Copies of this chain bind each other. A is one copy, B any other.
Amino acid sequence: MNNQHKNEQEEQLSLKLFIVLTRALESIKRRVEEDIKCLGLNPTEFAVLELIYSKGDQPIQKIGQKVLIASSSITYVVDKLEKKNLLKRKPCPKDRRITYATITEEGTKFMDDVFPKHKQAIKEIFAGLDVNEKKVMIQQLKKLGYYAESL
């Protein structure tokens, strides 16, 4: 195979992989969203709540870094969770610029009930691959992600 064909093949394969990747994640996200929506939350709200549920109080700023949303969006999401009484804001006594998001008792109860079911649902959604295939895919996706990030 000459160089030009090789290049074209690489292009085709990459384009194909991009589409398949996008589509697969769309299908998966749709299922995950179904699982979450009936709890009255959207995926972002759930992700933020879960972060605080499992990692404890977080400065609002940190939340955005971990869940990968802009700071102005976190304000919005935390507002919504606060209105639902799942989180509350708590000022930091040492640094008055900082506001922590803290889970409420109601929020904890909610997650105690819901999170195990959520993990189970994710497991079912990903049951198209076996344990080993998942491990391989995780590795490959990391490679791909790191590389793209490094550009």
CB nearest to A119 among chain B residues: B11
A98 on the B face (CB < 8 A): no
Contact A21 to B124, CB < 8 A, known contacts A134-B13, A135-B13, A148-B28: no
Contacts of A30 in B (CB 8 A): 148
A146 to chain B, nearest CB (A): 7
Cα–Cα distance between A123 and B25 once the two chains are bound (Å): 20
**Are B128 and A15 closer than 8 Å at their CB atoms?**
no
Binary interface profile of A, 5-21, with partner B (CB < 8 Å = 1, else 0)? 00101110111111011
Q: Which residue of B lies closest to A135 (CB)?
A: B13
- For A128, give its contact among B9, B10, B148 (CB under 8 Å): B148
Main secondary structure of the interface of A (DSSP, over half): helix
Copies of this protein in the assembly total 2
Q: How far is the CB of A32 from chain B (nearest CB, A)?
A: 7
Does A40 reach chain B (CB closer than 8 Å)?
no
- Residue A71, interface by CB 8 Å: no
CB A34 to nearest CB in B, in angstroms, measures 9
Q: How far is the CA of A78 from the CA of B18 in the complex (A)?
A: 23
In the A-B complex, the 9 residue pairs with the smallest Cβ-Cβ separation, listed nearest first, are A128-B147, A24-B145, A14-B126, A27-B148, A24-B141, A11-B119, A27-B149, A128-B144, A14-B123
